[in-house]
């Protein structure tokens, strides 16, 4: 015969599995091709976003990052599928950045670690009405090593890698916020 404690455990376990079975149909993958009701999924909604060129002065780090952020978003939203979908939305982005010394060697007065911050302000507009659907600001702060004065190339490469990581983070954040909007409408 089962002990009273064992019976309680079995009852709780049965309740957990019953609730799990009842709620299993409520969940669906975020990036599913179709919703549970059979309508177009988040993938189709994301493909309907036209990412506009990001304006930046030629020859500046922001111009390279504008291309990087846009390319990352295009790939993230359309998945590199090459499928053309009629654009229902326009995504406008403005970038700004700044550099700072995070750690300075007290003996030499030289920077040991740099900090790079990239900020993007974005807005999603409905193509038909021109109505602003969502707007927001995302920021990425990344650090990088600044080797001694004799290693100028390493210092420049470290900063460039930091800029690229910041651009990737910005694109990922915007993509996640767009996905949230298309799923929840907020």
The per-residue pLDDT for range 7-35, each reduced to its tens digit, is: 778 788 888 777 766 665 555 555 566 55
pLDDT score for 168: 95
Considering the entire predicted model, what is its pTM? Answer: 0.74
In the predicted structure, residue 38 carries a pLDDT above the cut 60:
no
How many whole angstroms separate alpha carbon 166 and alpha carbon 69? 9
Mean pLDDT calculated for residue range 37-43: 65
How many whole angstroms separate alpha carbon 56 and alpha carbon 49? 21
pLDDT score for 147: 74
Mean pLDDT calculated for residue range 94-98: 90
Name the percent of the chain lying above pLDDT 70. 75
Residue-wise DSSP of 26-82: G---TT-SB-TTSSB-HHHHHHTEEEPPPP--TTSHHHHHHHHHHHHHHHHHHTT--
Confidence tier at 69 by pLDDT (50, 70, 90): very high
**Which domains does the chain possess?**
33-184 (3.30.160.150)
Q: What is the pLDDT of residues 161-170, one digit of tens each?
A: 989 999 999 9
Q: What is the pLDDT of residues 105-150, one digit of tens each?
A: 666 656 667 788 999 999 999 989 989 999 999 999 988 777 766 6
């Amino acid at each position: 015969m089962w002990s009273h404690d064992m019976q309680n455990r079995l009852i709780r376990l049965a309740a957990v599995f019953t609730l799990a079975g009842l709620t299993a149909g409520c969940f669906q993958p975020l990036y599913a091709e179709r919703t549970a009701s059979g309508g177009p999924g988040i993938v189709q909604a994301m493909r309907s976003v036209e990412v506009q060129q990001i304006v930046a002065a030629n020859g500046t780090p922001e111009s390279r990052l504008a291309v990087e952020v846009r390319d990352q978003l295009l790939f993230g939203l359309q998945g590199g599928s090459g499928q053309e979908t009629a654009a229902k939305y326009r995504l406008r982005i403005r970038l700004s950045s700044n550099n700072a010394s995070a750690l300075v060697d007290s003996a030499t007065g030289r920077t040991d670690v740099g900090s790079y911050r990239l900020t993007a302000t974005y807005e999603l507009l409905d193509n038909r009405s021109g109505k602003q659907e969502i707007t927001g600001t995302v920021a990425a702060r990344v650090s990088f090593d600044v080797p001694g004065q004799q290693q100028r190339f390493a210092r420049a490469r470290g900063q460039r890698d930091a800029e690229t990581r910041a651009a990737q983070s910005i694109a990922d954040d915007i993509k996640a916020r767009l996905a949230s909007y298309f799923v929840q409408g907020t």
